[in-house]
Amino acid sequence: MKRFLIFAVAAASAGFIAVSTASDANALDIDDYPADVPASGIGKTRHNLGALGMHRIADGDPGTTEICVFCHTPHHANVDGFAAGEKAPLWNRTNATGSYTPYGTTLNGTEVQQVGGATLACLSCHDGITTFDNLVNAPGKGLNTGSQGWQFNEDGDPIDNYINGGRLAIGTDLRDDHPVSITYIAPRASLRDPDTRFDEINLTSDVFSTTHDAVSSGGNLTQNRWAVNGYICADCTISSLLRNGKVECSSCHDPHFANKSWDEVEDTWGSEAEADGMFLRRVGGNTGSGLCKTCHAK
The residues that touch ligand HEC, with contacts defined as CB under 6 A, are 42, 46-47, 49, 55-56, 67-68, 70-72, 88-89, 106-108, 118-119, 121-122, 124-126, 132, 167-168, 170, 177-180, 182, 184-185, 188-189, 191, 229-230, 241, 243, 247, 249-253, 255-256, 268, 276, 278-280, 286, 291-292, 294-296
Pick 50 or 219: Cβ nearer ligand HEC = 50
Pick 4 or 184: Cβ nearer ligand HEC = 184
Contact of 255 with 47, CB cutoff 8 Å: yes
- CA dist 125 and 75 (Å) reads 21
Pick 179 or 284: Cβ nearer ligand HEC = 179
In the bound complex, what is the minimum distance in angstroms from residue 80's beta carbon to ligand HEC? 16
Pick 46 or 225: Cβ nearer ligand HEC = 46
In the bound complex, what is the minimum distance in angstroms from residue 148's beta carbon to ligand HEC? 12
- CA dist 224 and 202 (Å) reads 8
Q: What Cα–Cα distance (Å) separates residue 167 from each residue in 27, 128, 171?
A: 25, 11, 10
Pick 22 or 54: Cβ nearer ligand HEC = 54
Contact of 263 with 216, CB cutoff 8 Å: no
In the bound complex, what is the minimum distance in angstroms from residue 164's beta carbon to ligand HEC? 9
Longest CA–CA span in the chain (Å) reads 60
Q: Residue 236, Cβ neighbours under 10 Å: how many?
A: 19
In the bound complex, what is the minimum distance in angstroms from residue 33's beta carbon to ligand HEC? 15
Pick 119 or 219: Cβ nearer ligand HEC = 119
Torsion region of 263: left, alpha or beta (phi above 0 gives left; psi -120 to 50 gives alpha): alpha
In the bound complex, what is the minimum distance in angstroms from residue 286's beta carbon to ligand HEC? 5
Task: Please choose, from the candidates 189, 210, 181, 206, the residue with its C-alpha nearest in 3D space to the C-alpha of residue 86.
Answer: 181
Peptide bond into 62 cis (omega under 30): yes
In the bound complex, what is the minimum distance in angstroms from residue 6's beta carbon to ligand HEC? 24
Task: Please choose, from the candidates 201, 189, 192, the residue with its C-alpha nearest in 3D space to the C-alpha of residue 234.
Answer: 201
